[in-house]
Structure 1
Amino acid sequence: MLAFWGLMLQATPQLVTAATTDAKQKVTFMIYPEIPKDNLGGNKLGYFNLKLKPNTEKTLKIKVFNPTDKPITVNVSAKDAQTADDGRIDYLSDAPVAKKLLPSPGSYYLQFKPRVVVPSKSQEWVNVKVKMPATDFKGKKALAINLAAMGKNGGSINNRYVYAVGVTLNGTKLSVKKLQRLAMPKMKTGFVDKQPALQFKVNNPDPIFLKKGHLSIKLTNQKLGFFNYKLDLKKMHIAPNSTFNANLLLGGKRLVAGRYTMVAHFKSDQYRRQIKKTVQITKTDARYINDHNVAYQKKLKMLIIIISAYAVLGIILIYYIRKHGSRDSKND
């Protein structure tokens, strides 16, 4: 079981306490990041936001408290910010970063001990050294210092407590004119949480955060325009140099094979972007998705039942009309 408390958006630097809904569960550990005076935006940000010169070093400090009766081993790691599906910044993912988009991750610049043992009723400092490269980089590098420990929940399952303390390293500022902007290189069919979907690969090739993003996508069949699929995602936050999937869930809709025109519109606080391209849905992919689309199959079965019922009623009605019609004609 994973319990997660992030410090990315804390209003002020303060002692952060882990808590659970289980009354029997004791607090595992608490942390206090020491925000430096030269932090961009001040220490009220609650995370490390640094502008360091090339070839310089700086030590970041996080105090760890152990209020329990036993020593706690805290595992320390650095995770580069990624973007989760449909647009949410993720500081916990174990998936490797996309090297083509982020060839020099910010986590490479951090040095620390991988684990710290905190004695009972005591505290220890986690020291993280930031060692900047010899040459400056462009834009921003986003990552988090993750501190994790296991704690008993009173049963057979352990809770894993994770704190993510954000780190933003600021390089040379990029002008809007020099941005490559959002790209959507491919689309594929698949399943998301067992639900059939069209998955659009989205890349942010630029070393900037894209905030308050709004992505709308429409696929229109080039031969039969009434076959179309739409996706609308709002309040997206996209990490620098990251990739993710925008998932168009099909629900009970039938997937129709054919050639489609894709028109995508994206806007954020940084810029606007339109992407237009042709995508292909093969008969094989469409058949497989439809065969495994539970909602569509239920809908299809219901439609067959309704059509069958109407057909039976039609046959009965025709038989009734013919039978009674022939009697009426004899009487005449």
Structure 2
Amino acid sequence: MEIDAVQLLKCVTKETTMIKRKHLFTLLIVALTIPFFKGSFVSASELNFAVEPVIPENQRDKTKTYFDLLVKPDIEQTIEINLRNDTENEVIVEPKVHSATTNLNGVVEYGPVDSKKDSTLKYDLNEIVQVENEVKIPAHSSIKVPLKIKMPKEAFDGILAGGITLQEKDTKKSENTETKGLSIQNQYAYVVALVLNENNNPVKPELKLNKVYPDQVNARNVINANLQNSTPNYINQLNVSAKITEKDKSTVLYETTKKAMQMAPNSNFDFPISLSGKKLEAGDYTLELTATTKADRWHWKKNFTIKADEAKKLNAKDVTIKKDYTWIYIVVGIILILVSILLIILILKRKRKKEEEERKKRNRIKRKKKKLAQQQSNQKKDN
């Protein structure tokens, strides 16, 4: 079982004060895991405190630097994390406990996420492990944070996995509310993994394919295949290969393969199948997906439908799709043709009107000449 002992999380806070938005917290896993050794503190320049898990006697593997405990049903145990403050000021830390989840990249998350609790998760870790809402570390001091574990009465096979997030409380009033424009404030936190076992009984992994549906990742169209690990154990070295065809046809429209993923116990994630900038088209489709580990293999064929309104809505938001302006060209062309026809009609009318006026003018001249000639003829007769 491969677990990062401590993860450094970066919390990016964006505040647009011109329109008085509330703080928007987005938790990003930084692409570095801070390794550390037993008996030493983990620290980072972005944080005002350092952490050290105190490994207890019932640790399954004493070489691990995260909590991997062998426990019994209905027992109570208190574990501790050392926090050290080397600064000149008091530091307030807000500990939180979360059950482990799996993100869309097939990576286990031990920190807080927005996703809902998995339907197969019987025991949520934050209901089993109790910790103070905040702890104060005096300047140039160390303290121990106690975490009280109360195991369920009912025995279970497998693993309960999660993490303890340790984030400094922001005690300074934001000055951004008095300024205009966009400001960005970075906040960091540690996450220490916590794994609870009651025995070493093997648990056979069970992977399920739930719904298949169109969606977007980073403003790009994808087909999501929701995969669920319904067992209380990690699924390691998970390889997934997926391809999509039109229903009852063999031509592959979209395909994605990803290797060496990991799923947390009793968790699910959306495996995204990229459309590579292509438009979503309404219709009936078939997903064929194969998932393998070193010991297991799963295979599914599942039909799904993309509705016209779904496709239209997602296509309009996809930043990689070139917008089709053909209809604009057609409308402009029609307008130009209509304007041209109107101009031709106006020109012809003016020409006909002018010709009619000239004809009438000639007729008037003829009548005058005829009348004059008649008068002259009458005068000659009189003479």
Tell me by how many angstroms 1:228 deviates. 1.6
1:138 maps to 2:138: no
* Matched-pair contact (CA < 8 Å) for 2:291–2:298: yes
* Matched-pair contact (CA < 8 Å) for 2:88–2:139: yes
TM-score, normalisation: structure 2? 0.69
Tell me by how many angstroms 1:99 deviates. 4.8
Alignment coverage as a number of residue pairs: 293
* Matched-pair contact (CA < 8 Å) for 1:136–1:172: no
1:164 maps to 2:164: no
Question: Which one of the candidate residues 117, 129, 132 is aligned to 2:148?
Answer: 129
1:17 maps to 2:43: yes
Distance 2:70 2:34 in 1: 19
Secondary structure class of the residue paired with 1:167: strand
Secondary structure class of the residue paired with 2:256: strand
Question: Which one of the candidate residues 81, 106, 118 is aligned to 2:125?
Answer: 106
1:2 maps to 2:11: yes
Distance 1:171 1:159 in 2: 39
What's the Cα RMSD here? Answer: 2.9
TM alignment of 1:221-240, pairs within 5 A: 221-226=246-251, 228-240=253-265
TM alignment of 1:82-231, pairs within 5 A: 82-95=101-114, 97-150=116-169, 158-173=185-200, 175=202, 179=205, 181-226=206-251, 228-231=253-256
1:263 maps to 2:288: yes
Gaps of 5+ in 1: 21-26, 306-332
What letter is aligned with 1:139? G
Q: Does the C-alpha gap of structure 1 residues 174 and 86 become closer, same or farther in structure 2, counting only changes over 3 Å?
A: farther
What letter is aligned with 1:206? T
Distance 1:56 1:294 in 2: 54
* Matched-pair contact (CA < 8 Å) for 2:73–2:198: no
Task: Report what 1:53 is aligned to.
Answer: 72
Per-residue CA deviations over 1:175-216 (Å, capped at 9, x if unaligned) read 45x54x111111111221111111121111111101111111
Distance 1:91 1:34 in 2: 18
Q: Does the C-alpha gap of structure 1 residues 172 and 237 become closer, same or farther in structure 2, counting only changes over 3 Å?
A: same
Task: Report what 2:48 is aligned to.
Answer: 28
* Matched-pair contact (CA < 8 Å) for 2:292–2:298: yes
Secondary structure class of the residue paired with 1:295: coil
| Identity over aligned pairs, percent | 27
Task: Report what 1:320 is aligned to.
Answer: none
Distance 2:268 2:153 in 1: 27
Distance 2:33 2:112 in 1: 15
Per-residue CA deviations over 1:242-297 (Å, capped at 9, x if unaligned) read 11111122232132332222111101245211112212222332333334333232
* Matched-pair contact (CA < 8 Å) for 1:291–1:297: no
Secondary structure class of the residue paired with 1:68: coil
Q: Does the C-alpha gap of structure 1 residues 19 and 207 become closer, same or farther in structure 2, counting only changes over 3 Å?
A: same
1:62 maps to 2:81: yes
Distance 1:223 1:36 in 2: 58
What letter is aligned with 1:168? V
Tell me by how many angstroms 1:126 deviates. 0.3
Gaps of 5+ in 2: 1-9, 13-28, 177-183, 330-383
Tell me by how many angstroms 1:70 deviates. 0.8
What letter is aligned with 1:45? K
Distance 1:223 1:114 in 2: 56
